Amino acid sequence: MAATLAETGAISQGRMQTLPEETLNLELGVDRFLTSIPAGYYTIASVEGLKSLLENPQTLLIDVRESSEYRLGHIPKAINIPLRTLTHNLDKIVRDRPVVLYCSSGYRSAMGVMTLHLLDYENVQGFPPSFAGWKAAGEAIARL
């Protein structure tokens, strides 16, 4: 059965009234975050852009792929913090330095960037071309 627009509004209003305050606060916080995302979505769009940023020795490059992927090949100077362990390794991510996250195709790094921004890291960017783009550009690959 399809609900009319008026019925949907009533459902939404009723839902908002029955949610616990903690949930409402979380939803408001997430909404505030999502509406604050700037054009470009905290990204470094090209291999040349990443190489330029990596000229700064303060830049921290984080590979958020699984350790097994990292061992097979990664961007030189990258450290490995798998996405699922990101919040357990915040002590390795300095807040006052540029931070760049990448993965194999861009999906996990985007989740990592959002996670860190939600945790008030303001210096974090993603590299959407990711490892696949770096490799396709013929750039050096480091291996363990």
What CATH number does the domain containing 66 carry? 3.40.250.10
Q: Is 68 in the same domain as 22?
A: no
Range of the domain at 57: 47-136
Residue 99: CB atoms within 10 A of its CB come to 21
Q: By mean pLDDT, which of 7-16, 31-40, 53-62, 117-126 is the weakest?
A: 7-16
C-alpha–C-alpha distance, residues 69 and 21, integer Å: 41
Residue 46: CB atoms within 10 A of its CB come to 14
CA distances from 70 to 52, 80, 81 (A): 22, 7, 9
130 domain-assigned = yes
Q: How many domains does the chain have?
A: 2
Residue of higher predicted confidence among 72 and 38: 72
Q: Is 57 in the same domain as 128?
A: yes
Whole-number pLDDT of residue 37: 62
**At 19, is the pLDDT very low, low, confident or very high (cuts 50, 70, 90)?**
low
Q: Is 61 in the same domain as 112?
A: yes
Q: Is 83 in the same domain as 106?
A: yes
Q: Is 60 in the same domain as 112?
A: yes
Q: Is 27 in the same domain as 63?
A: no
Whole-number pLDDT of residue 36: 67
Q: Is 79 in the same domain as 110?
A: yes
**pTM attached to this predicted model:** 0.75
Of 2-11, 20-29, 47-56, which has the strongest mean pLDDT? 47-56
Q: Is 9 in the same domain as 60?
A: no
Note the pLDDT tens digit of each residue in 50-108. Answer: 999 999 999 999 999 999 999 999 999 999 999 999 999 999 999 999 999 999 998 99
As a residue count, the chain comes to 144
Burial group, residue 103, by CB count within 10 angstroms (0-12, 13-18, 19+): buried
Q: Is 61 in the same domain as 125?
A: yes
Whole-number pLDDT of residue 85: 97
